[in-house]
Amino acid sequence: MSVIKKQSHRLSKPFLLMAFSLLLITACDQPVSQRHHISLKPFVECRVIQHKFGETCVPLKPQRIIALAPETSLDTLIALGIKPIGFTSYNFKGEEVHYGVSFDQVKGAKNVGDVSQPSLEKILMLKPDLILSSDRHQYKLLSAIAPTVPVSYPNFKMSANQAFFKETLRYVAKIVGEETKAEEVLNQYNKRIQELKKRLGNQLEQIEISVIFYSDGWIGEPMKNVDSISTILTDVGVHQKFLSPGKYLNIETINEFDTDILFIIDVERKTSSFYFQHPIFSSLKVFKNNRVYFVTPEKWYTLGISGANKVLDDLFKYLPVSY
């Protein structure tokens, strides 16, 4: 009996791959605007979502969603109370990493590969009814498997009155029909902002904060009006120090970040002693005043509302200090 099962398995996988190959060939040969999804299932009512590659008819109540961008679509789905059946992750020195989302929050879902190159075979095997991709993924190939909607990454020309993670939340909520839930999530975020502002009181006018990334000798800063960090700090009402126009952030200009509080996003996961013993960092007054806080990129490198709330967790932890 077991022999028959093994033989059946050997036959089924090549057949699946052959069918998948034919599906992809058909998808690639057809223009996006002319391709239709063929299904033997009864017609399911759907909503039309416009996006940069055209439009997609999305089931009104998708049940089997795959999220291919951890910091945008995955983050947002989790915030809306939706656990996808599949997701991608980043690989950092052999370690699986999600930005803004913890491992517990995706427990039970299937990892379908690296963000840059998800496994089309794994995606097909999961039988999704909706794929949330990004601008970087192969839309034609994915849309041949299931209705696919790209969730864009931030535009570096975004204006100061735009908040990327809030817009992403509303957009993904529109796709999955959870607009009311999205506003509830934003209202809760705003309540936390107001609570933190109340706790800080008059200190809001006194605190100047800077945030930098450090990775293997490389120093960077979050993009103003793009990364969620600057939006969060603006919402709180504290002043964030950015590098002066025309200057590049390096060891020679690090003194521009000698502010009241310095957050270091420790990409390399160094110990605090590394920074306190470093001749450049240790010379800053903020180090001498013990107002330096080391935070993880999993929390602070965020483009979604779930990550934004994790940044707020740290701000509640570190900001209520006396001067």
pLDDT tens digits, 72-103: 999 999 999 999 999 999 887 778 888 888 88
Query: Predicted confidence band at 20 (pLDDT cuts at 50, 70, 90)?
Result: very low
Helix axes 179-200, 164-176, angle to 10 degrees: 150
Higher pLDDT, 279 or 211: 211
Report the greatest alpha carbon distance in the chain.
76
The pTM assigned to this predicted structure is 0.81
Per-residue pLDDT tens over the stretch 251-274: 677 888 899 999 999 888 888 899
Domains in the chain and their CATH numbers?
Answer: 43-153 (3.40.50.1980), 179-318 (3.40.50.1980)
Residues 194-207, mean pLDDT to the nearest whole number: 90
Does the structure show a pLDDT above 80 at 6?
no
Instruction: Supply the DSSP symbol for 72.
Output: I
Comparing 148-162, 222-236, 300-314, the range with the smallest average pLDDT is 148-162
Instruction: Supply the DSSP symbol for 17.
Output: H
Report the Cα–Cα distance between both ends of the chain, in Å, rounded. Answer: 76
Residues 69-73, mean pLDDT to the nearest whole number: 90
pLDDT (0 to 100) of residue 248: 61
Residue labelled with tokens 């934004």: 308
Mean pLDDT over the full length of the chain: 82
Higher pLDDT, 27 or 314: 314
Query: Predicted confidence band at 38 (pLDDT cuts at 50, 70, 90)?
Result: very low
pLDDT (0 to 100) of residue 318: 93
Q: What percent of the chain clears pLDDT 70, i.e. is strictly above it?
A: 79
pLDDT (0 to 100) of residue 298: 86
Residue labelled with tokens 């090549």: 14
